[in-house]
Structure 1
Amino acid sequence: MGVPFETLLPYAIMMFGITGGALTKVKNMQNGGKRPRHSIDAWDRQMMERDRRLTGWLRGQTDNVKAPAGFELNNPWKVEPLIQ
């Protein structure tokens, strides 16, 4: 004898809720405890990359006036070797 599908609906609703909560938590953890960003343009990507190089986190920010030691040589641009 089969089980009516109405008995399984609460389990399906619980699974959607648990999965949604888990995905929200994972996204939150990946962004350093901040809400995920949407519609990121080139300027935002550039600033987020700068923040990642300064703090180690993509969304991290610092209020230090001076950059950490070694940051002056930490250039994200790839330089081609000189052709002679």
Structure 2
Amino acid sequence: MPVPFEALIPYAIIVTMFGVTGAGLSAIKTAQNGGKKARWSLDTWDRQMMDRDRRLTGWLRGQTDAADAPYGFEYNNPWRVEKRFS
């Protein structure tokens, strides 16, 4: 006995929504990374270099080949000064 096609409509909707959600998340991650693929398993060194690149270029994944840092980079220090006890 054949299955009526109306019974398969909810499954088609669910599969379509999974596909739309996956494509949307992929597009958002790519846009957030400046058009590059998302990075996995970042260690401390990678995070430091990505933060340095963000301070140099304005993008988390941006890189530059300029020999000199832009104006104001020397004041853009990632280290925070501790608050003193008073």
The TM-score normalised by the length of structure 2 is 0.83
For these two proteins, the number of residue pairs brought into alignment is 81
How far 1:20 sits from its partner (Å)? Answer: 0.6
Q: Which residue of 1 aligns with 2:54?
A: 52
Distance 2:14 2:83 in 1: 58
2:29 to 27, 30, 40: 27
List per-residue Cα deviations over 1:12-53 (Å, max 9, x = no partner): 111111111001001111111110000000000000000000
Q: 1:6 to 1:78 in 2, by over 3 A?
A: same
Q: Percent identity?
A: 57
**Amino acid in structure 2 at the alignment position of 1:54:** L
Point out where structure 2 has 5 or more consecutive residues left out of the alignment.
none
Distance 1:24 1:35 in 2: 9
The TM-score normalised by the length of structure 1 is 0.85
Q: Which residue of 2 aligns with 1:9?
A: 11
